[in-house]
Chain A
Amino acid sequence: MARRSAVKLALQSDGAAQGRGAFQAYLYVLPAFVILLAFHFLPIFYAFYISLFNWRIQQGGFTGLANYANALTNPEFWDSLKVTVYYALGVIVANLVLSTAIGYALSQRIRGRVLYRLVYFLPYVTPVVAAALVWRWIFHAQYGILNFGLGLIGVPAQQWLLEPRGVVELLLQPFGVAPPAWLAGPSLALVCIIVFTVWHTIGFSIVVVLAGLANIPGEVYDAARIDGAGSWGILRHVTLPLLSPTLFFLMVVSTIGAFQSFSSIYVMTDPTHGGPLGTTRNATMYIFQNFFEFTRLGYASAVAFLLFFIVLGLTIVQVRVLGPRVHYQ
């Protein structure tokens, strides 16, 4: 300890060395700084600039906030947001519930937990495009194994990824009830994509939940047991509250991820039409189409900004509203 402070003193007296240190630090940060500045930071301002113009392939006339106004009055934009929200809700709820249940089960002293963890994690490693292609084949309306399998237990063949009708509508159909349009729910095609995404990402969530469970100190359980808590009480009043920071993190991360989802929708449904009757065209796909197919660069930028603010707002709401309810140790 004495030696260390002596060295520190010697170093501090040497002002030139400190200056050299700072110079070196800037040099070390420089490569990362340049990349981030050029391709991730300045482009935000450039994107805002572009969004103020009628920018096709070339820069056109200045239009002020017209692109934003056009987006906000365009039903296609709102539809794409609705698809995004349905998708995000479906993926997040299913992911959180399933990963908590499976993670909790795997945290028990059961045989083969390493093997289970491997199996559940496996899909997460596969490239989305290749995996989505496999699911597209499973969901195939004509030759798909799913229709065959469900047919064995008497479920009539479905159109799956080609089905624009809402799931609520489809479920009520056998009873001769037609729900109003706003209650029809996400299209069956979108639900298929949600199922795929949950299959693909659940392994990641399970591993995160397992890490969260492993972080809960054993003393807490001992204390609860001494106080006479049963296993169910411990799960309900000790494990779940102490796991809440992990679940909160998973929720924030999956919200951000769900709002940026692209590959699965691009592969599993027809991207040029936004899936059956546009019912799988989420916000990212809508931006991609306007940019890539219609070359409306200004409009695409405006929509991207609107989406950015929505995600930012949602994250802030999650942190402000749910954050205080999370139990940290």
Chain B
Amino acid sequence: MQTTLPRVTRRAPSGPAAVSLSVSRSGEERRRPRRVVGSWLLHLPLILGGALMLFPFYWMLTTALKGLEEASAFPPTLWPTVWMWDNFGRAWQAAPFGRYLLNTVVVATGQTASVLVTGSLAAYAFARIPFPGKNLLFICFLGTMMIPVEVLLVPDFIILKNLGWYDTYLALIVPWMTSVFAIFLLRQFFLSIPDELWDAAQIDGCGRFGFLWRVAVPMARPGLITVGLLTFHGAWNALLWPLIVTGSPNMRLLQVGLAAFQSDARVQYHLWMAAATLTMAPMLAIFLFAQRYFIDAASRSGLKG
């Protein structure tokens, strides 16, 4: 496709006319370069690609609503002939998904709340309080981001077992109660708070904790939302860690439960898709509700400090 691009290139006007033109345009948006190809040439591949992105969702939902026979019919039907709404109920009953959901909510909420607290506290100290050994400690913190989780699996498993935390919420929550990325990101926010505010707060008799709680945290709200969403999403997504540190079906998180559900031979495809829909739904709902923050979170994690 790229080789055909130059043919439809439109040349931007050059010379003094172009200068006056670009000066008269205001705002970044207008100064973006002109597109290389005509708009239909952009829309066509974008629409095709978008259809590919959405197709799995369509196929998941329509399969989830088919009966057993129709779901495993070949050639497949593109639309359910009979809508089996009770598939969702049956899938939910076929395994203790209610319990899995409860576990997941407890773990995701626990992790998110603690990451926000420990992250804000540490980030605040790194950003605004001078103390001996600060830089060295911060570098050590950043260094732990380099460690792949594979290296931690075995030792943490043994440590958690010795603590008696194996197969408990503690094993799922405590090791992930802080996040270096969260500290890094929130530190950037706290660094950008002008010193004058802290001076003024001191004159008004406000201590460090008061300043953190009443001034710094509210000012870092976008950062806190980003950190919260990423942590919650990560906890909801986790598979490897919960597989290792829990054993009983009662302690399964949603994704572990779903993986176990699909390897269960009795289960049929339409119920797989119903269960997949149900475990996806909360995350998708949060996303549609808080889209801006999700996309912000992704683009923020891409910006170099």
B150 touching A108, Cβ below 8 Å = no
Question: In the bound complex, what is the Cα–Cα distance between A202 and B298 (angstroms)?
Answer: 12
User: How big is the A interface, by class?
Assistant: 35 or more
- Among candidates B33, B122, B149, B151, residue contacting A305 with C-beta atoms closer than 8 Å: B151
A199 touching B237, Cβ below 8 Å = no
Q: Which residues of A contact B53 (CB under 8 A)?
A: 119-120, 122-123, 199, 202-203
Q: Which residues of B contact A47 (CB under 8 A)?
A: 151-152, 154-155
Does B57 reach chain A (CB closer than 8 Å)? yes
8 contacts between A and B (CB under 8 A): A28-B124, A129-B237, A133-B258, A239-B33, A262-B239, A300-B153, A301-B154, A312-B146
Does A63 reach chain B (CB closer than 8 Å)? no
Does A172 reach chain B (CB closer than 8 Å)? no
Question: In the bound complex, what is the Cα–Cα distance between A123 and B272 (angstroms)?
Answer: 18
Does B82 reach chain A (CB closer than 8 Å)? no
- Which residues of B263-282 are within 8 A (CB) of A? 269, 272-273, 275-277, 279-280
Does B220 reach chain A (CB closer than 8 Å)? no
**Min CB distance, A30 to chain B, in Å?**
8
**Min CB distance, A219 to chain B, in Å?**
8
Residues of B within 8 A of A (CB): 5-6, 9-12, 14, 18-19, 22, 28-29, 31-36, 39, 42-43, 45-46, 49-50, 52-54, 56-57, 59-60, 63, 71-76, 117-119, 121-122, 124-126, 129-132, 134, 137, 140-141, 144, 146-159, 174-175, 177-178, 180, 183, 195-196, 199, 202-203, 208-209, 233, 236-237, 239-240, 243-244, 254-255, 258-259, 262, 269, 272-273, 275-277, 279-280, 283-284, 287, 291, 294-295, 298-304
Instruction: Give per-residue flags for A106-131: 1 if the beta carbon is below 8 A from chain B beta carbons, else 0.
Output: 11111110001111111111111111
Instruction: Give per-residue flags for A1-45: 1 if the beta carbon is below 8 A from chain B beta carbons, else 0.
Output: 001100110010000001001101110110111011011110110
A211 touching B299, Cβ below 8 Å = yes
Question: In the bound complex, what is the Cα–Cα distance between A120 and B53 (angstroms)?
Answer: 6
Contact A148 to B76, CB < 8 A, known contacts A7-B199, A127-B255: yes
Contact A32 to B118, CB < 8 A, known contacts A102-B46, A260-B149: yes
| Chain B interface SS verdict (over half) | helix
Q: Which residues of B contact A225 (CB under 8 A)?
A: 12, 14, 18, 22, 33
Question: In the bound complex, what is the Cα–Cα distance between A18 and B129 (angstroms)?
Answer: 9
B196 touching A4, Cβ below 8 Å = yes
Q: Which residues of B contact A170 (CB under 8 A)?
A: none
A199 touching B121, Cβ below 8 Å = no
Does A304 reach chain B (CB closer than 8 Å)? yes
B233 touching A39, Cβ below 8 Å = no
Q: Which residues of B contact A136 (CB under 8 A)?
A: 262
Question: In the bound complex, what is the Cα–Cα distance between A133 and B22 (angstroms)?
Answer: 51
Q: Which residues of B contact A228 (CB under 8 A)?
A: 14
The segment out of A68-76, A158-166, A286-294 that lies at the interface is A286-294
Residue of B at shortest CB range from A46?
A: B155
Residue of A at shortest CB range from B258?
A: A129
Residue of B at shortest CB range from A202?
A: B53
Does A168 reach chain B (CB closer than 8 Å)? no
Q: Which residues of B contact A102 (CB under 8 A)?
A: 46, 49
- Among candidates A8, A121, A128, A311, residue contacting B295 with C-beta atoms closer than 8 Å: A121
Known: A111-B43, A263-B255; 12 extra A-B contacts, CB below 8 A, are A4-B195, A29-B126, A43-B151, A46-B158, A122-B284, A129-B237, A145-B76, A204-B298, A231-B12, A307-B148, A308-B150, A311-B148
B240 touching A125, Cβ below 8 Å = no
A292 touching B243, Cβ below 8 Å = yes
Contact A24 to B46, CB < 8 A, known contacts A122-B57, A207-B299: no
A31 touching B118, Cβ below 8 Å = yes
